[in-house]
Structure 1
């Protein structure tokens, strides 16, 4: 696993996260601002997006993947699973149009995919560091 490859994936995951959640910042100041789940899904996702962007720059500059970065990758993967599985099931159960449901299932699949890819890099890094 090369640092540049991981950097590329971290940058892609960060970019996707900003696209998926950037337009939802208004939820943090609107009627839903008092709901802790809104802060977890919107605020948490955007914070992980910033962390992934920072990691992408650090790795692109040739620094090694270290433990805290792996922790961010795993945390991002867990957050994407929790947020998007919960959201997908909620949307599928709501009285929304088929198009709305399809869009949200696609968003969920892509976001979960990025989360799993990043978590896999963390696991690979952990395995590579284990002594024989």
Structure 2
């Protein structure tokens, strides 16, 4: 499974309309996102129009290709393109990806593997301490 995060800049003067367009998203577009293999998809809007998106997928290249070929996604993205600053192309294809630098479950799993069976990193009572 791959975790993908991206950012875009929404035009500040169009923020209210952008939010309204996502309340709700077209049902056929929701179906296309799911059919592409994206799940746990969220968008977060910060002050000034900075938009951060997140989704999970088993094959991001295949998900991108599916949506790039989708007539429904093409219609949605054609309508949404005007909301973004400095964007060349469709928003779903041209968003700036973010680099993941921390993921709790990955680090807990790695810590558990490094410690072997003697410590459960999610249970503080099994972790050795230098405080004694």
TM-score (norm 1): 0.28
TM-score (ref. length: structure 2): 0.28
Which of structures 1 and 2 has the bigger CA Rg? 2
Write 1 or 2 for the structure with the bigger share of strand: 2
User: 1 or 2, which has the higher helix percentage?
Assistant: 1
